[in-house]
Amino acid sequence: MNFENTLEYARSLDAADPLRDYRESFYFPKVNGKEVIYFTGNSLGLQPKSAAQYVNEVMQDWKELAVEGHFYAEKPWWEYHELLAGPLSEIVGASAEEVTVMNTLTVNLHLLMVSFYRPEGKRYKILCEEKAFPSDQYMLKSQLEFHGYDPDDALIEVSKKPGQHHWTTEDFTDAIEAHSDEIALVLVGGVNYYNGQVLDMQTITRVGKDNGCMVGWDLAHAAGNVRLSLHDWEVDFASWCSYKYLNSGPGNASGVFIHKKHLGKNDIRRFEGWWGNKKESRFMMNPEFDPMETADAWQLSNPPILSLAPFLASLKLFEAVGMEALIAKRNQITAYLEFILHEIDAEVSSRFEIITPASRGCQLSVFLHGQGRPLFDYLMQNGVITDWREPNVIRLAPAPFYCSYEDMYRFGQILKQGIQSLAKSQ
């Protein structure tokens, strides 16, 4: 498209946006009495206005039914988590039986490693990306140490080519093939938190499987943001948090995918708890574990219903809109933001560098050559909520559910004012 950097043009894009009314389904913080331009849906999505209703329903059931709410609430608590599996399966490209909701992301990755990290003989190494999200680094290293391996030897970190800000698919596939008889597990972040790159998950999974590896994905920045087909790609397992693009609330429950081929097996290694036991025999209190034939077999304890309620509220919005429509707007609004950045860069000669490649979701990571933390602070003080990553990067995520094209234009004007203002003060 031939974009224009004018308010009138931005408003014309909003007028033609089929998702424009969904902006009113979310609460926006305010700075200086005005709704903010919110670019941090990649860290914490905005609150759906319907979330409180869903939480209040649970509170009312607790008040009126107490323990009987487990079975006689309108949405019985003992199977409440099952209400989330259907819409989540559509988001990640799976069947409902392959998806469950439990715990939080790193907890789930640790639990999944029990089942899918199976070191044996010379095949004991784990392959991940260089400078993975710190929690993943800690998790992988501690797992290796728990199994008696030295992470310096047993962790293969795929690096970028010198001078590059992002990986090629071949960086991963070549590394897998070079260590094909040593790798037990490939576990990588599907969308890189720092540069916003969407990896070719399908190809990397295929090559990993062809070389005898288990393959899992951390989808923290992918779920609700990019197109996923976990079942068809034959991913062994995946997990993701729900509070970023899925708008479920701070620190809320994590989603888990386990491929159908691993379900219904009594002999698979797994840390077990009573909520993974079949519903038919769960309350018989038998001493032997009788696993569910779905991903629910990996559940341990009663799900946190008060947390799942706002998550369900958000998923109802995803059901109404669908990923195809969200991705279509994501592509256009992110392209418009990229255009605005280039326009402002040309006007003020600030030398921004967008380090996010063309394979992306709705995050643009911008390296601020010649600018620093004061510019980030100016943006925050003037109603642009973004985030900072060392050494000199701001991440901008125009989430398609609630960001507008006018937001992109207004951001450009505030950015320009900030650069000019800081230049005058130097």
Give the per-residue SS3 of 295-346: HHHHCCCCCCHHHHHHHHHHHHHHHHHCHHHHHHHHHHHHHHHHHHHHHHHH
Question: Cβ contacts of residue 327 below 8 Å, gap of 6+?
Answer: 226, 227, 400
| Strand duo 237-240 + 214-218: pairing | parallel
pLDDT digits (tens, 9 = 90+) for 135-165: 999 999 999 999 999 999 999 999 999 999 9
Alpha carbons 258 and 70: distance in angstroms, whole number: 26
Question: pTM for the full model?
Answer: 0.96
Q: What is the mean pLDDT of residues 35-64?
A: 98
pLDDT digits (tens, 9 = 90+) for 9-33: 999 999 999 999 999 999 999 999 9
| Angle of CA points 345, 6, 8, to nearest 5° | 165
pLDDT digits (tens, 9 = 90+) for 93-124: 999 999 999 999 999 999 999 999 999 999 99
With a pLDDT cut of 90, the percent of the chain lying above it is 93
User: Please, what are the domains in the chain?
Assistant: 7-47+322-425 (3.90.1150.10), 52-321 (3.40.640.10)
* Neighbour count for residue 86 (Cβ, 10 Å): 13
Predicted pLDDT at 426: 67
pLDDT digits (tens, 9 = 90+) for 281-294: 999 999 999 999 99
Query: What proportions of the chain, in percent to the nearest 5, are helix, strand and coil?
Result: 45, 15, 40
- DSSP state for residue 78 in the 8-state scheme: G
| Strand duo 214-218 + 183-189: pairing | parallel
